[in-house]
Chain A
Amino acid sequence: LYVNAANLKSLTWQSSAIIRAMAVNPEQSSPLGSHQFIDQLALAYHREIAARLLASPDEVLDRARSNLKRWMKVHAGTGTVHALEEWQTLINTLLISELVAKMTEDSDEGQRLRQSTPFGGVLSEQERKEIFARCEKGIFA
């Protein structure tokens, strides 16, 4: 991507649009649209996945391994592979209890790891929606 005159014009226009949106659309400042909310949501998802991991470790780990294998092909040759390899190492070397602690760690490091989570597909869409709704309710409670 390059910045040229047209891009700069567009960026300037977008900045004005953001300022206009702040003035006319106060809901944009809602905690629902904050990164803090997204981080809490990811933590809530992973707490549920951790419970599933304790109950059916093979099923959950098989899914994670299969996701990682597929994504590594998609991202081959890019920096993303490092993040995926990190998870692969964690999954292959940690005890289940250690993995649970790692994926639910309420810290910057925990957040960083959850951002490249390999546990897609462990929760159903319905379960994901219920957790989302619970977190949403939590921030407005």
Chain B
Amino acid sequence: LLDLIQRVSELTGITAPVIVGSQSLFAVTENVPAIVKDSVECDFLLASGGIQAIQIVNETLGILSPFSTAHGYFADGLGLATVVWRPVGKIASCRSQMNMDRS
């Protein structure tokens, strides 16, 4: 995850790329559901970099890129079209998933 953050930052010039999707749970807890730990992809919201930043990340670090073939993980560059702000529902569904994983 840290490697991807650094590479996305270097590639796009965005100093603090925003992680959205499942991997963003790591910002608040290390006790994440198994589905998050199993994942080999990380979603980056590249809101300040424009379409060019999204394209370059998907091309260079995206699924089936030479980078992902070499390392076994990849980045999805996303814009605001994919992001829905639903904090209450999201938190509730994550809590429920974490409880299910513990039981």
A38 within 8 A of B: yes
Complex alpha-carbon distance, A20 and B72, angstroms: 34
Contact in complex: A14, B18 (CB < 8 Å): yes
Total residues of chain A contacting the partner, CB 8 A:
49
Q: Which residues of B are found within 8 Å of A83, using beta-carbon distances? A: 38-40
Query: Given the complex of chains A and B, what is the CA–CA distance between A116 and B58 in angstroms?
Result: 15
Nearest residue in A to B81 (C-beta to C-beta)? A34
Q: Is the CB of B79 within 8 A of A82?
A: no
Per-residue interface assignment for chain A, residues 27 to 46, with 1 indicating a CB less than 8 Å from any chain B CB and 0 otherwise = 11111111110100110010
Decide if the interface of chain B is mainly helix, strand, loop or mixed.
mixed
Docked complex Cα distance between A42 and B76 (Å): 11
Q: Report yes or no: A128 in contact with B27, Cβ–Cβ below 8 A.
A: no
Residue contact A17 to B47, C-beta cutoff 8 Å = yes
Smallest beta-carbon distance B77→chain A, Å? 7
**Interface mask (A109-141 → B, CB under 8 Å = 1, otherwise 0):** 000001111011111010011001000000000
Q: How many A-B residue pairs have CB under 8 A?
A: 129
Inter-subunit contact A74/B82 (CB<8 Å): no
- Which A residues touch B59, using CB under 8 A? 129, 132
A97 interface residue per 8 A CB criterion: no
Could you pull out 18 A-B pairs where Cβ atoms are within 8 angstroms? A3-B27, A17-B47, A27-B79, A28-B79, A32-B79, A38-B58, A42-B63, A45-B63, A67-B69, A71-B71, A79-B38, A80-B37, A80-B38, A80-B72, A117-B63, A120-B69, A125-B66, A132-B58
Which residues of A are in contact with B by a Cβ distance under 8 Å?
1, 3, 7, 10-11, 14, 17-18, 21-22, 25, 27-36, 38, 41-42, 45, 67, 70-71, 74-75, 78-80, 82-84, 114-117, 119-123, 125, 128-129, 132
In the A-B complex, the 7 residue pairs with the smallest Cβ-Cβ separation, listed nearest first, are A33-B79, A79-B37, A120-B69, A71-B72, A21-B47, A34-B81, A28-B79
